[in-house]
Structure 1
Amino acid sequence: MAWLFEWLSDLLLAVHILFLTDNFPPEGNAPASRTFEHCKVWVAQGHEVTVITCAPNFPDGKVYPGYKNNWYKRSVVEGINVVRVKTYMAENKGFLRRILDFMSFMVSGFFAAVWARKVDVVVGTSPQFFTAIAAWAAAKLKRRPFVFEVRDIWPASLVAVGAAKEGSAVIKMFEKIEMFLYGRATLIVAVTNQFKRELVNRGVNGAKIGVVTNGVDLTLYKQREKSQELLASLGLQNKFVVGYIGTHGMAHGLDKVIESAELLEGDSDIHFLLVGGGARVEVLKNSVVEKGLTNVSILGRQPKETMPDYWSLCDVALISLKDSPLFESVIPSKTFECFAMGLPTIVSVPSGEITGIVEEYEAGIIVKPENPNDLSRAILKLRDDAQALETYRSNALKAAKHFDRSALALKMLAQLEQTL
């Protein structure tokens, strides 16, 4: 009878988590990876998970091959119930068309959420809060707890990247909606401690704010030898490769990385490798051509499953953000991928949460954001100091163990269960 008691206990404890996000694999950006990896762990723990999302299209606003922008399409991905809904799609740049994109998912996502049956908790994720509006409305209708996962302070990030003007009527309206959602959430899950501090300073009840940082799938990202086939195809044999792998967006200050490459053009063994999609890819490519640089390769978006192969080519990883106070509270998820791959990291971001992590684990060098001269000096230091390179590499591997995505998923699951 013990097995029967155990089975009944598991059945009673299992919950149905409804998760709304407009990014999900095969998209390979940070929110898609975080949601997917968390949901896989929750399913493995015996819970039912339904993800409402749209057809994969980030960052170019074009549906990926093999998918259609259908009104309603169900599938099961590694035990996760995935519902894809129709949306208006826009490239990840600009303002008005992106807002229309977000609002279209808010509407179609809400109606899909209404049809989900026997839901116990509803989660909506940022950075933009229109997804959270849909989650709150669905939770309200179903009389279930609403959980707001805050991965970015939005709309402040719009101002930081120059997409909107501070104090404008639109931003003021967005800020009111933002505070409304914070107030209505049963639980807020912030991805950094600084986010939590900022929300508390703005009057949000700190008792209902949990923190679950980003992390890394240690089964996928691990130290490995350089892919010789990929090295040869890119002509990077015998090169000291400085890699930036991630979104090429307005927030990342990559134009200054290109300027650093220009300063190091005379060092023929140093090569910059940029991999990823985003609003600034073509601008950066044009800049490389205009400057006549031969030490930069910009490859654009690549399949998510190939990312460890591209990371393996790098001798040093680069984390870059614009010089804005908003980014003091950000922890780019690619940082933990760098750690897991055993890559020394050059962090070119405003002093804050991520610089504190790199300093704590002594896993790399911190330079001033948007400063090509400082970045160039850091690259030369690591190229010329094999002992420092090896020390940072060893420390990065040790640091990765503290950001295991599976453990972090269980931490967030515990917080969700507490809301019930």
Structure 2
Amino acid sequence: MPKPTAQLRTLVITQYYPPEAHGAIPASLARELARRGHSVRVVTTFPNHPHGALFPGWRQRRGHRERDGGVTVRRVPMIVDHSASAARRMVAYVSFGLSVLRETRAARTADVVYVYCAQPTAAIPALLWRRFLGRPFVLHVQDVWPESVTGSDMLPPGVVTNVVSAVVLRALRVLHRAAAGVVAISPGAAQLLIDRGAHPERTSVCHNWGRPDAVPDRAEVDRSPGTHIVYAGTIGPNQGLDAVVVAASRCGDLRDLSFTFVGDGIALDDLRALAVRVGARNISFRPPVGPDQMPTVHAGADFEVIALRDVPMSAITVPSKLQDAMAHGVPVIAAVPGDAADLVVSSGAGLVVDPEDVDELEAAFRAAHATDVAERARFSNNARVTAQRTMNVASATDHLEHVLRKAAA
């Protein structure tokens, strides 16, 4: 096994990478590691999230390589799917993991493998390389499985779901114990991973970070007068956005209060239909935008909605859109429990309500509308300061670089 030097040779595995917005976290980490003088190679797939279709101008092929600043990026094919079918989604996830095995040659020369673990199937090659090549790997766990699947609408409650959960949990115990480092995005998630087999001394917490984009001057953003509340991100069953739509419809008497949903996902059509059904004429829907356009979306928002379904796993989830909003100094209305709620309360970055509680959401929307300029400025400053101190790419890379070096030692 190659011995690590001052220059850490890191192989990054991530199913998501720019131009996908969901790839901002692994991309910014890879770029920062490269900027610090490390050798970084990324293995990812071709952009297809969240639509479940390849981005215009892209086609899947073998041997695709590109450069992202100081980072070498290798894209491998996978079966593309982002439907509501659990079986099809699992086939897609597994196909990416197996396709990454083509990069075994690159793994032989790496000091450590970093897995951006939105799905644990991305860690299949890392586990095999650990077993057969002795290559250490670090898991950066974004979504806790099996609940990310069994807690969604893809798998209904029943015997089959219980069996799937038991099988996945056994596999995850093997994966977590084999990892040289496990990084969770919240304290609650870290404790759950330890309870499920991760070594306590090799498990740590590192909050995700917001995109380090400059925020355009609000005067430069074309917007009508009034209070603008924005939801920007994936529109799926796990976000609990039905309650947001119903609560917004109840605020129709506030003529200068508007709501905008920016994003896409498998729940979009149902959400649009619900808005029509409840007469929410103060809501508009916009298609997703690229990372380079997100600063303008943030600048056009007086408040941003952060929402999750009222399910047990939400208590240990910190949605990445929360860090993005805070990094851009946007006050938030957080319909979330647990770790995410604690973060908003402790920072003073906005308002917190119980998830999927229509009455509380309506009250929060009305309270946001009633805030004056000084109070909004206070929320904004609190959000930005907290993000700069605890949720920025430099401090996160400090933590992850230490974990990677420790794993490679």
What's the TM-score once normalised by structure 2's chain length? 0.93
Residue 225 of structure 1 deviates from its aligned partner by 1.1
Verify: 1:42 aligned to 2:36, yes or no.
no
Find the residue that maps to 2:24 and give its secondary structure.
helix
1:250 aligned to which of 234, 237, 241 = 237
Q: Is the 8 A contact 1:41 1:410 kept in 2?
A: no
Residue 101 of structure 2 aligns to a residue whose secondary structure is helix
Mapped partners of 2:164, 2:170: distance in 1: 10
Residues 1:260 and 2:278 aligned together:
no
**Residue 194 (structure 2) aligns with:** 200
Distance in 1 (alpha carbons) for counterparts of 2:217 and 2:189: 34
Tell me the CA shift for residue 277 of structure 1: 1.8
2:263 corresponds in structure 1 to: 276
Q: Given the alignment, which residue of 34, 53, 58 partners 2:49?
A: 58
Say whether the 8 Å CA contact 1:85–1:112 is kept in structure 2: no
> Is structure 2 residue 7 aligned with structure 1 residue 14?
yes
**Greater alpha carbon shift after TM alignment, 377-386 vs 197-206:** 197-206
- Are 1:150 and 2:141 an aligned pair? yes
**1:7 corresponding residue in structure 2:** none
Structure 2 SS opposite 1:13:
coil
Matched, 1:372 2:365: no
Is the Cα–Cα contact under 8 Å of residues 226 and 313 in structure 1 kept in the other structure? no
Return the offset for 1:333: 1.5
Pair 1:209-2:203 in alignment: yes
User: Match for residue 3 of structure 1?
Assistant: none
The residue type equivalent to 1:404 in the other structure is N
Is this contact kept in 2: 1:330–1:354, CA < 8 A? yes
| Contact 1:323-1:370 within 8 A present in 2 as well | yes
Letter in 2 for 1:254: L
Q: How does 1:224-235 map to 2 (within 5 A)?
A: 224-229=217-222, 231=223
Q: Distance in 2 between matches of 1:116 and 1:65?
A: 31
2:349 alignment partner in structure 1:
363
Please give the alpha-carbon distance, in whole angstroms, between the structure 2 residues aligned to 1:357 and 1:316: 16
Map Cα deviations across residues 174-226 of structure 1 (whole Å, 9 max, x no partner): 111111101111111112121111122334320011221101233x0447315
Contact 2:221 2:299 in 1 (8 A): no
Counterpart in 1 of 2:183?
189
Shift of 1:94: 2.6
- Aligned-partner Cα distance in 1 for 2:104–2:290: 29
Deviation at 1:92? 4.8
Q: Distance in 2 between matches of 1:276 and 1:58?
A: 11
The answer to whether the aligner puts 1:381 opposite 2:375 as a matched pair is: no
The SS at the match of 2:261 is strand
Instruction: Give the Å deviation of 1:391.
Output: 2.2
Residues 17 and 26 in structure 2, CA contact (< 8 A), matched pair in contact too: yes
Residue in 2 that maps onto 1:4? none
Contact 2:329 2:384 in 1 (8 A): yes
Give 1:113 shift: 3.5
Cα deviation for residue 227 of structure 1 reads: 4.0
Structural mapping, 1:98-177, within 5 Å: 98-164=89-155, 165=157, 168-177=162-171
Give the counterpart letter for 2:61 in structure 1.
Answer: N
Q: Give how far 1:79 is off.
A: 1.4
Contact (CA 8 Å) 2:248, 2:365: kept in 1 or not?
A: no
Give, in angstroms, the shift of residue 59 of structure 1: 1.1
The one-letter amino acid of 1:244's match is Y
C-alpha separation between the residues in 2 aligned to 1:87 and 1:200? 31
Alignment-mate amino acid for residue 309 of structure 1: T
5 Å-filtered alignment, 1:281-360, equals 281-350=268-337, 352-360=338-346
Is 2:108–2:133's contact at 8 Å kept on the other side of the alignment? no
- What is the distance in 1 between the residues matched to 2:205 and 2:278? 44
One-letter code of the match for 1:183? R
TM-score, normalising length: structure 1: 0.91
Please point out which of 381, 390, 393 is paired with 1:394: 381
Tell me, in whole angstroms, the C-alpha distance in 1 between the residues paired with 2:135 and 2:350: 44
1:71 maps onto 2:59 in alignment: no
Shift of 1:267: 1.4
Alpha carbons 2:216, 2:296 under 8 Å: kept = no
Residue aligned with 2:61, SS:
coil
Following TM superposition, by how much is the alpha carbon of 1:114 offset from its aligned partner in structure 2, in angstroms?
A: 3.9
Show CA shifts across 1:359-378 (max 9, x none): 11111111111012211111
Q: Decide whether aligned partners of structure 1 residues 85 and 416 sit closer, same or farther in structure 2, where only a CA change above 3 A counts.
A: same
Classify the secondary structure of the residue corresponding to 2:238. coil
Alpha-carbon shift at residue 102 of structure 1 (Å): 0.5
The 1:314–1:406 alpha-carbon spacing in structure 2 relative to 1, beyond 3 Å, is same
Confirm or deny: 8 A CA contact 2:82 2:89 kept in the other structure.
yes
Q: Distance in 2 between matches of 1:369 and 1:319?
A: 10
Q: Is the 8 A contact 1:23 1:58 kept in 2?
A: yes
**1:124–1:136 contact (8 Å) kept in structure 2:** no
Structure 1 residues 259-299: Cα deviation after superposition (integer angstroms, max 9, x where no partner): 11111122111111111121112221222233343211111
Aligned mates of 2:153, 2:253 — CA distance in 1? 34
Rounded to whole Å, the distance in 2 between the matches of 1:404 and 1:320 is 22
Deviates more, 1:18-27 or 1:389-398: 389-398
The Cα of 1:300 is off from its aligned counterpart by 2.1
Deviation at 1:325, TM superposition (A): 1.3
- Write out per-residue CA displacement over residues 79-134 of structure 1, whole angstroms, 9 at most, x where no aligned residue: 11111111110025331111110011111112224455511111222222111122
Which shows bigger deviation, 90-99 or 18-27? 90-99
Report which stretch shifted further, 126-135 or 138-147: 138-147
**Letter aligned with residue 275 of structure 2:** V
**Kept in 2: contact 1:147–1:185 (CA 8 A):** yes
Find the aligned partners of 1:309 and 1:180 in 2 and give their Cα distance: 44
For 1:23, the equivalent position in structure 2 comes to 16
**Contact 1:240–1:271 (Cα < 8 Å) also in 2:** yes
- Give the partner amino acid of 1:119: A
Other structure's SS at 1:273 match: strand
Mapped partners of 1:226, 1:91: distance in 2: 38
